[in-house]
Amino acid sequence: MIADHPHRFEVANELHARPFPSLEAPCHAVFLAVKRREAAASRDRGEDRAHLLALLDRFGAQHPAAGATHFFGTLGRHRLKWECHTEFVTYTLFGEGIAPIPFDASSFGAMPTDWLATAPGDRLTSALVRVATMADDATIDRSLNDWFDGEGLAVARVLDGSAVVASDFRIDANGHTRFSVFADPDMGPRRLGQIVQRLIEIETYKTIAMLGLPVARELSSRLSELDAELADLVSRMRRPNDEAEATLDALLAMSARIEHLLASNSFRFGATAAYEAIVAQRIEVMREEHYGENTTFAEFMMRRFDPAMRTIRAAEERLEHMAERSRQAASLLLTRVEVGRSAENQALLASMDRRADLQLRLQRTVEGLSVVAISYYAVNLLANLAKPVGPALGLGEGVLLALLTPPVVALVWILIRRIRKGMS
């Protein structure tokens, strides 16, 4: 039997891990997304799980499997859907029926107040979804005018006209975003659950994508300062070579600061692009059709959401362009400094060659003097040894010295040459 890959079942089950809820109108949903302020990599998922278990234990509900990142279970009169994402955790409660007062804040009371206060993070977004049966257009219009701000209202028929969805994407007095769904009575439970789930996902990913906007705005002001500083450093590159070293040090320090900004913001910008794509995809799959003269969700995002995304992309591109400019400037200046150092090294080598030549000449002079000095002492030594023999040969002292000097000098000169050749 062939062995299975260690992650085969894990990745296969992931495709079926987050099914759409089954809903029947009328019903409602309460949604909460919690996000830590620190980076996703440093988030303690154990605390997120512990917070979920604290809620489940209040209702005596079943616990999820160890290490699970999603859970669907019964919580009193509601059904709870819990999901642990890369950056945030979501809680969605689905209940039957709708409150007499539309979007009543008491609907959020299904999540205990003291339990909310101990959440390991801040509220990213929260939403109330009201699902009613389909009514005539006049009734829907009156309801939407009463519930939402007409100026920013987005309304559309979705999934081949099987439902009408609406929201103004504003945060109400109780801190929640509101969504209204008017569903065809003949719509299947899964299809209705799909619509509600898509609306919640649009709100969630739209909100977390917008988190890149404050980052982009703060970054833009810092980039303006860095841009002016970089332009000044580039202009200094035209000055004499004696200032190139100091300019290079300043330029490398600036490049390091820009690279730090690029590294520290790359995750946020990358995540924003991914969430933006998810928002567009979630709206696209609902197959919107115009409802009267109202703005669709896609048109609302094009007017309100897309400009913010373009601002974020512009800040990211500006940062990358500035990082590239600083790298190029540093490379050019480094080349200039290296050329200057090469010229200095050549001058130093020429000076060393001249000193070596002088040392060689001095050495040769010393060698000549050494031959004379050694020969002088050698001739005297041999003359003293030959004194007893000189009279017998009929040679006077002067003649003896004259005969000994040439061969001694030649021999000393040959020995010194051999010694110098051996050393070199």
Q: How many domains does the chain have?
A: 3
| Residue 106 covered by a domain | yes
Give the separation between CA 163 and CA 129, rounded to whole angstroms: 14
Return the closest-CA partner of residue 217 out of 321, 312, 106, 98.
312
Q: Are 240 and 312 in a shared domain?
A: yes
Which pLDDT does position 189 carry in this prediction?
Answer: 94
Cα–Cα dist 415/125, whole Å: 98
Q: DSSP alpha helices (H): ranges in 97-210?
A: 113-117, 137-147, 189-210
pLDDT at position 110 is 82
Domain shared by 408 and 292, yes or no: no
Q: Tokens representing 24? A: 């029947």
Task: Residue 234: give the domain boundaries.
Answer: 212-347
Are 372 and 335 within one domain? no
78-84: strand order across its sheet: 70-75, 78-84, 88-96, 27-35, 122-133, 177-183, 163-167, 154-158, 289-290
Return the amino acid letter for 146: D
pLDDT tens, per residue, the chain with 424 residues: 788 888 887 777 777 666 788 999 999 999 999 998 766 556 678 899 999 999 999 988 999 988 888 899 998 889 999 999 989 999 999 999 998 888 988 888 888 999 999 999 999 999 999 999 999 999 999 999 999 987 889 999 999 999 999 999 999 999 999 999 999 999 999 999 999 999 999 999 999 999 999 999 999 888 888 888 888 877 777 666 656 777 777 888 888 888 888 888 999 999 999 999 999 999 999 999 999 899 999 999 999 999 999 999 999 999 998 888 888 877 777 776 666 666 667 777 777 878 877 776 766 666 666 666 676 666 677 667 666 766 666 666 666 666 667 776 677 667 777 776 776 6
The C-alpha atoms of residue 315 and residue 268 are separated, in whole angstroms, by: 12
Establish if 313 belongs to a structural domain.
yes
Query: Is residue 201 a part of any domain in this protein?
Result: no
| Residue 25 DSSP symbol | S
Domain for residue 202, yes or no? no
258 and 297, same domain (yes or no): yes
Instruction: Please check whether residue 314 lies inside any domain of the structure.
Output: yes
Q: How many residues in the chain?
A: 424
